[in-house]
Chain A
Amino acid sequence: MDEVLKFFLEYKDMIFIIVLSVFLGIEVISHVPAVLHTPLMSGSNAIHGVVIIGAIIVMGHAESTLSLILGFIAVILGTLNVVGGFVVTDRMLEMFKKKKK
């Protein structure tokens, strides 16, 4: 039990962020119209591309050639997620805008 309590104390800041973000995420999109389901999914898909930051950190501190190569691949994959995600979402939403005119 002490271990669990110690764990909580050690990571309390992040546990707070996690719990509050869960509620925030639910609240933020709970009234989305069905029309926007696909763009919203695509947009949030791009946002989890934030994992790219982890890839940059790993690669930036890579010590061996192997970890440099793996990091290189990770950065490419993360960038694909980010750039592809945002561009695809923008393309979808561009069409919504056009038809309003």
Chain B
Amino acid sequence: METIQTFTSELSILEISYLVASVLFILGLKKLSHPATARSGNLWAAAGMGAAILFTILFHQKDGQPIGNVIWIVVALAIGSFMGWYASIKVKMTAMPQMVSIFNGMGGACAALISMMEFPKMQDHLAQTGAAHMLGGEGIAILLGLMIGGVSFAGSMIAFGKLDGRIGDFKHPILRIINLTFLVGLFVALVLILFMKPEAGNNLPIYLFAVAALIYGVTFVMPIGGADMPVVISLLNSFTGVAAAMGGFLYGNQAMLTGGILVGSSGTILTILMCRAMNRSLLNVIIGAFGVAGAAGTEDGDKTVKEISLSDAAVLLSYSQKIFIVPGYGLAVAQAQHLCHELDNLLASKGVEVKYAIHPVAGRMPGHMNVLLAEADVPYEKLVEMEDANNEMSNTDVVIVIGANDVVNPAAEDDPSSPIYGMPIIKALDAKNVIVMKRSMAAGYAAIPNNLFYHQKNRMLFGDAKATLQKLVAEIKSL
């Protein structure tokens, strides 16, 4: 908390700009939650941010001193802006979750760095005044900011690695114990540091604390299955929000405080909404029961899959009346969303009604599939949400599952021992025929066997989604 400053019009303007920024953040978030206004909401929030940054540089004062090193600040802003802008322009839509994870990690690291710099200052100051301990609002905010920011940074980097396929899952029961120990240890260390007698230049404890936070960030995310990364990123997102708010508390800065807490609380709600879409609890995700039970599920032995030839598939599709396409991440990975749209246009020109059934957690993030299909110019009206699609399933002739697996796994409905039991699915089997396009018989991202593949209504079309779709389109054209 800063000491009371004497009035200047600059300081007033600065505080007004923070008020405006806070209001713009709130309105921006509000608009972001409605499809029609989402884009302008994002711009409003960005405008608020721009104003807060500009006026901080122009008018911020500490102990009567204005902001110095302005040239270097502008250089850093320019470098960061260019890198951020370039990365965002270049990233593929399929890699979006990773990108968000990286940006989130940067925010966390920024918050942690601020704490690392403020702690020695605070300690030196308290040592001069001869304080007996460092307990107080300032100390708590610095240490919490460091801890949460550090966990968020390290965790986001691991989440990025997992989504990008650079880091595999590492599951071992002992990690649970290590995690719990680290978490408790971090809080104990936080309290111990607060009760330490301030000693100028004694910064080792804070460095060790930072390292411990980073390690915890790694071990926290490590055992969580790759399929759960969206939930983890959303959770880490709200962590970074809280870390930013700690900075706001430290500097008595209302824009940082409201912005950070808003993200912290809305991020937590969003995380819970995501979990609910998968019918799981947050605790269940974090403890990571998913992969451990993955080996369970019924193995009946001699199950056979039926394949369908390209020409049969082409005929079946062309003479159907109503088709649902169930896209999954496999479609996105193969960059086949454009071809998929071509197929649906082609079939539509033959009088077939083609729609897309979108599972809320299809892809790697909730809503990810909508973004990907939008990229391929698939009209909004063709995207049907899961519940509506399920209602229409019984009068559907063919369901084409492209690169999706867990979201159509009937085990979620009829196998209580399955780890995804209870998750709402797209009921492909209610349709008359099912075609599953898949590269191989390998299990899905969650590593759970899928009995849909062995069902008598289903036939498999093996191959890379893009290549298969290409051949299928050619086949239908030649009919």
Task: Please report A residues at the B interface, Cβ cutoff 8 Å.
Answer: 3, 7, 10-11, 14, 17-18, 21-26, 28-62, 67-68, 70-100
Contact = CB atoms under 8 A, between A and B. Distances in A.
Contact of A96 (B39, B106, B262): B39
Interface stretch (B62-70, B300-308, B323-331): B62-70
B113 A73 contact: yes
B266 interface: yes
**Chain A binding surface SS class:** helix
Given A62-B68, A84-B99, A84-B106, 18 more contacts: A18-B249, A21-B258, A25-B261, A26-B265, A26-B266, A37-B273, A37-B274, A45-B104, A45-B240, A45-B263, A47-B241, A51-B247, A70-B116, A84-B85, A84-B87, A85-B100, A85-B103, A92-B371
Nearest to A74: B113
B96 A44 contact: no
Interface string B43-84: 101100100110011001010011111101101110111011
Contacts of A79: 76-77, 79-81, 84
B53 A34 contact: no
A64 to B, nearest CB: 10
Nearest to B261: A21
B-side interface size class = 35 or more
Nearest to B253: A53
Contacts of B274: 37
B323 to A, nearest CB: 20
Contact of B270 (A29, A68, A94): A29
Contacts of A34: 277, 360, 366-367, 385
A19 B346 CA distance: 55
A54 B256 CA distance: 8
Contacts of A58: 114, 117-118
Contact of A43 (B29, B53, B88, B117): B29
B462 interface: no
Interface in B28-48: 28-30, 32-35, 38-39, 41-43, 45-46
B87 A25 contact: no
Contact of B365 (A38, A55, A80): A38
B425 interface: no
A35 B367 contact: yes
**Chain B binding surface SS class:** helix
Contact of A25 (B107, B262, B366): B262
Nearest to B30: A28
Closest 6 CB pairs of A and B: A79-B80, A25-B265, A60-B67, A84-B84, A83-B84, A37-B366
A29 to B, nearest CB: 4
B252 interface: yes
B144 interface: no
Interface stretch (B166-174, B181-189, B373-381): B373-381
A75 B77 CA distance: 7
Contact of A41 (B81, B84, B109, B365): B365
Given A51-B114, A84-B87, A38 B371 contact: yes
B448 interface: no
Contacts of B370: 35, 38, 96
B207 to A, nearest CB: 13
A42 B109 CA distance: 17
A25 B264 contact: yes
18 contacts: A11-B249, A14-B252, A28-B266, A38-B97, A48-B237, A48-B240, A48-B264, A49-B244, A50-B25, A51-B256, A53-B56, A73-B76, A75-B73, A84-B85, A88-B99, A89-B42, A91-B88, A96-B374
